[in-house]
Structure 1
Amino acid sequence: MFGINGAEFIVLLVVAVVVIGPERLPRYAEQLGSFVRSARGYLQDAKARVDAEIGEEIADVDWSKLDPRQYDPRRIVRDALLDDEPVRERVAPPPPRAPSAAPLDGPAPFDDEAT
Structure 2
Amino acid sequence: MSGLTFEKVLIIGVIAVFLLGPERLPHYAAQLGRFVRQLRDMANGAKDRVRDEMGPEFDDLDWKKLDPRQYDPRRIIREALIDEDPMKDLLKPTVSRSVNPDSAYLQRKRSVVKAGEATPFDSEAT
Q: Which bin holds the TM-score, normalised by the shorter protein?
A: 0.5 to 0.7
User: How high is the TM-score relative to the length of structure 2?
Assistant: 0.53
* Number of corresponding residues: 86
**Alignment CA distance shift 1:42-1:85 (3 Å):** closer
Corresponding residue number in structure 2 for 1:5? 4
Deviations 1:47-106 (A, max 9, x none): 2222112222333233333332222222222222222238x8xxxxxxxxxxxxxxxxxx
- Indicate how the Cα distance of structure 1 residues 9 and 54 shifts in structure 2: closer, same or farther if over 3 A, else same: same
Q: Distance in 1 between matches of 2:16 and 2:73?
A: 45
Q: 1:47 maps to which residue?
A: 47
Q: 1:16 to 1:58 in 2, by over 3 A?
A: same
Percent of aligned positions with the same letter in both sequences? 52
Structure 1 runs (4+) greater than 4 angstroms displaced: none
Specify the alignment match of 1:60 in structure 2.
60
Please name the residue that 2:26 is paired with: 26
Higher relative contact order (CA 8 A, sep 6+): 1
SS in 1 for 2:64: helix
Question: Which sections of structure 1, spanning at least 5 residues, go unmatched?
Answer: 89-115
Q: Is the alpha carbon distance of 1:69 and 1:14 closer, same or farther for their aligned partners in structure 2, counting shifts above 3 Å?
A: same
Cα gap change, 1:35/1:71 in structure 2, threshold over 3 Å: closer, same or farther?
closer
Q: Give the counterpart letter for 1:69 in structure 2.
A: R
Alignment match, 1:77 = 77
CA-atom RMSD, angstroms?
2.6
TM-score when normalising by structure 1: 0.57
Alignment gaps of 5+ in structure 2: 89-126
